[in-house]
A = this chain, B = another copy of it.
Amino acid sequence: MDNVTLGQYQLVYGAFSFAIAVMGAATVFLFFGRSQVNTKYKTAVTISGVVTLIAFYHYWRIFDSWSAAYIVSGDMLKVTGSSFNDAYRYVDWLLTVPLLLLELILVMGLSSEETVRKGTTLASLAALMVILGYPGEIALDSGTRWLWWGLSMIPFLIIMFQLIVGLSKSVGAQPQSVRGLISSARWITLVTWSFYPIVFVLPMLGVGGGKAKTAVQVGYTIADILAKAAFGIYIWVIAVRKSEAAV
Question: Is A187 positioned at the interface, with any CB of B under 8 Å from its CB?
Answer: no
Number of copies: 2
Q: How many residues of A contact B (CB 8 A)?
A: 41
Question: Is A14 positioned at the interface, with any CB of B under 8 Å from its CB?
Answer: yes
Bound-state CA distance A137–B58 (Å) is 30
Question: Is A111 positioned at the interface, with any CB of B under 8 Å from its CB?
Answer: no
Question: Is A29 positioned at the interface, with any CB of B under 8 Å from its CB?
Answer: yes
Give A213 Cβ to nearest chain B Cβ, in Å. Answer: 18
The answer to whether A61 and B91 touch (CB under 8 A), given A29-B46, A29-B47, is no
Nearest chain-B residue to A243 (Cβ)?
Answer: B39
Q: Kindly supply a per-residue 1/0 record for chain A positions 63-84, scoring 1 wherever the CB is within 8 Å of any chain B CB and 0 otherwise.
A: 0000000001110000001110
- 12 example contacts (A-B, Cβ-Cβ < 8 A) are as follows A10-B87, A17-B61, A17-B91, A18-B95, A21-B58, A22-B95, A29-B46, A31-B32, A32-B42, A33-B46, A36-B43, A73-B82
